[in-house]
Copies of this chain bind each other. A is one copy, B any other.
Amino acid sequence: MAVYTDITDEELAELLADFDLGAPLAFKGIAEGVENSNFLLETEAGRFILTVYEKRVRAEDLPFFLDLMRWLAEHGYPCATPMADRAGRILKTVRGKPCALIAFLPGLSVRRPSAAHCREAGEGLARLHLAAEGFPLSRPNDLGQAAWAPMFATLRRDAEALKPGLAAQIETDLSRIAAAWPKGLPEGIVHADFFPDNVFFQAGKFAAAIDFYFACTDALAYDIAVALNAWCFEPDGSFNITSARAMLAGYETRRPLSAAERAALPVLAHGAAMRFFLTRLHDWGATPAGALVRPKDPLEYERKLAVHRASPDLVLFGDLA
């Protein structure tokens, strides 16, 4: 949950004066997204999310994210559409911070996804990859594989504090991931944070994806690896093969994987677990006492790393097939 920026009624009125959306009728801070402040805004014209971008999102990346959302919406993908003001501007400012008004999307995210949800999510992810084809902008993945070893160099002490002996283990993982990291897989726009929180369902069917603020250019199969980690582990830490198979099957209804992509999934999943472990470890150490946001537990991803380390063929289902 996160509401970092407080918007007054006067500031809201000033922002809305640039749009043709009528007068505000209701305005509430909502607990959605960890990186930004989000507000539910109802005006005479409809319902919107006002997202205020906090310092973690680089202002120079915002045009990429907002143009991508607009591109996807215009190419039939169910995602929230940023609203343009009378001068055609999407990226606005409130209280000195960048912000955007985004059309409200109904839908519910699921807390404990079933295999059926995973199938729907896989299909939704493939649709995203296809809808983004031809999008003219690109953004390197600054949290991609090349970034992990340098990131970890600054976090060794935090890892040891979390669990003695962990730093050496992570270094072994990093070497193994670097040695096996695939090259030449099909690339495109990836969501890069396709977690259950960011996917809406309606009546059990995939309805929409939100929160494109990690989207970037990378191997499409890496996006699947992120999603396998996020959707297919049980609360007890075990990997749910049925859910993983369902997710891949759902994905392949829209975009079949190449043999190279499928073969790369184990190391991609190991790497994707590393990426979330490292950022959570960073946030864990960096959060001051008394902060409004409780950081996510890095140990959840440390356990996923351990699963991939112990069973490198797991996501190929080789050891169970």
Q: Is the CB of B25 within 8 A of A202?
A: yes
Asked if A57 is an interface residue, CB under 8 A from chain B, the answer is no
Asked if A294 is an interface residue, CB under 8 A from chain B, the answer is yes
Q: Is the CB of A28 within 8 A of B40?
A: yes
Q: Is the CB of A31 within 8 A of B28?
A: yes
Partner of A110, one of B9, B26, B42, B106: B9
In the complex, which residues 15-65 of chain A have their Cβ closer than 8 Å to any Cβ of chain B? 23-32, 40, 42
Q: Is the CB of B290 within 8 A of A289?
A: yes
**Which B residues touch A106, using CB under 8 A?**
25-26, 42
Asked if A1 is an interface residue, CB under 8 A from chain B, the answer is yes
Partner of A31, one of B12, B26, B31, B107: B31
Q: Is the CB of A26 within 8 A of B108?
A: yes
Asked if A147 is an interface residue, CB under 8 A from chain B, the answer is no
Q: Is the CB of B289 within 8 A of A111?
A: no
**A contacts with B, residue count (CB < 8 A):** 33
A13's nearest neighbour on chain B, judged by CB, is B108
Asked if A198 is an interface residue, CB under 8 A from chain B, the answer is no
A107's nearest neighbour on chain B, judged by CB, is B26
Q: Is the CB of A108 within 8 A of B27?
A: yes
Asked if A180 is an interface residue, CB under 8 A from chain B, the answer is no
Partner of A1, one of B3, B289, B294: B3
Q: Is the CB of B29 within 8 A of A30?
A: yes
Partner of A292, one of B30, B110, B289, B294: B294
Q: Is the CB of A25 within 8 A of B289?
A: no
Q: Is the CB of B23 within 8 A of A203?
A: yes
Q: Is the CB of B1 within 8 A of A112?
A: no
**Which B residues touch A321, using CB under 8 A?**
none
| CB of A259, distance to nearest CB on chain B (Å) | 37
**Which B residues touch A293, using CB under 8 A?**
292
Asked if A10 is an interface residue, CB under 8 A from chain B, the answer is yes
Q: Is the CB of A8 within 8 A of B111?
A: yes
Report how far A202 CA is from B27 CA in the complex, Å.
Answer: 12
**Which B residues touch A109, using CB under 8 A?**
9
Given A9-B110, A112-B10, A292-B1, decide whether A30 and B27 contact each other with a Cβ distance below 8 A: no
Please list the residues of chain A having a beta carbon within 8 angstroms of any beta carbon in chain B. Answer: 1, 3, 8-10, 12, 23-32, 40, 42, 106-112, 202-203, 289-294
15 sample A-B contacts, Cβ–Cβ < 8 Å, listed by A number: A3-B31, A9-B111, A9-B112, A23-B203, A25-B107, A25-B202, A27-B108, A28-B40, A29-B31, A29-B32, A30-B30, A30-B40, A40-B40, A42-B106, A292-B292
